[in-house]
Amino acid sequence: GAVVSQHPSRVICKSGTSVKIECRSLDFQATTMFWYRQFPKQSLMLMATSNEGSKATYEQGVEKDKFLINHASLTLSTLTVTSAHPEDSSFYICSARSSGGEEQFFGPGTRLTVL
Amino acid sequence: EDQVTQSPEALRLQEGESSSLNCSYTVSGLRGLFWYRQDPGKGPEFLFTLYSAGEEKEKERLKATLTKKESFLHITAPKPEDSATYLCAVQSVGAQKLVFGQGTRLTINP
């Protein structure tokens, strides 16, 4: 149980394009989902927290107009990186938590490379 | 501000050589302390949740313990497949998010 998937696992795009990453909870309802970014050999950096049906709460320094988060259902959240630039290249990981649970379960991550 | 510090940053052990990883934390009120394992290029895998001082949990060769200031992840007779980065995180009362430590990169040599 507690499986979280992400799609795509890898994406390469040209500078200036937008990229959408999907995060799905496969066997539970996720009332809260989180988006993280991770640079090589560093820990996870929380970007934003989203509750189903509400606007996402962004961490300080994260541009909400650049990283658009939608959590329209209890099993799906999306992160759209708008007008991507090479400095946005990173490993993006989502996590999900059910309403009655404490643990966050993580997806496998998406490697974004912006050329 | 909640803080988590993990030590050592990296640890190399021989197969079968037991050791412990440390996670020191400061929170206004602890709701839970979490241990995760992360393999290169993958998302973190949930291991344990600890809620109160004195609590212990075990899974195969791993045992996690908790005091009011720190948590230990004990690894007994490790195998090469236990090589990974181990992450510790805390959630404070009233907060939704986790605060992560920098992780310990564990390498088990055969």
pLDDT tens digits, one per residue of A86-95: 999 999 999 9
3-state secondary structure of A87: helix
Rounded distance, CA A43 to CA A31, Å? 24
Asked if the Cβ–Cβ distance from A42 to B102 is below 8 Å, we say yes
pLDDT tens for B54-64 read 999 999 999 99
User: What pLDDT does A47 receive?
Assistant: 97
User: What pLDDT does A94 receive?
Assistant: 97
Cβ-Cβ contacts under 8 Å between A and B: the total is 47
Tell me how far CA of residue A83 lies from CA of A49, A62, A92, in angstroms. Answer: 22, 15, 16
**Mean pLDDT over each residue of chain B, to the nearest integer:** 96
Structural contact between residues B35 and B55, judged by C-beta atoms closer than 8 angstroms: no
- Residues in chain A within 8 Å Cβ distance of B87: 43-44
Segment B65-74 shows an average pLDDT of 97
Rounded distance, CA B56 to CA B102, Å? 22
For residue B68 the two structure tokens come to 């009011």
Among the ranges given (A72-76, A90-94, B8-12, B78-82), the one the predictor scored with the smallest mean pLDDT: A72-76
Rounded distance, CA A82 to CA A104, Å? 26
Nearest partner of B5 among B30, B29, B22, B28, judged by Cα: B22
Q: Does B49 contact chain A (CB < 8 Å)?
A: yes
- Residues in chain A within 8 Å Cβ distance of B98: 34, 46, 104
Residue A78 neighbours by CB distance under 10 Å: 19
Distance from A79 to chain B by nearest Cα, in Å? 16
3-state secondary structure of B81: helix
Structural contact between residues B49 and B28, judged by C-beta atoms closer than 8 angstroms: no
Reply yes or no on whether the pLDDT at B9 is more than 90.
yes
Of B49, B97, B102, the CB nearest to A43: B102
Segment A5-21 shows an average pLDDT of 97
Rounded distance, CA A107 to CA A94, Å? 5
> No. of H helices and E strands in chain A?
0, 11
Report the sign of the C-alpha dihedral through residues B5, B36, B34, A63, in that order. Answer: positive
Q: Which residues contact A20 (CB under 8 A, 6 or more apart)?
A: A78, A79, A80
Distance from B46 to chain A by nearest Cα, in Å? 7
Reply yes or no on whether the pLDDT at A1 is more than 80.
no
Structural contact between residues A113 and B43, judged by C-beta atoms closer than 8 angstroms: no
Structural contact between residues B89 and B96, judged by C-beta atoms closer than 8 angstroms: no
Asked if the Cβ–Cβ distance from B43 to A106 is below 8 Å, we say yes
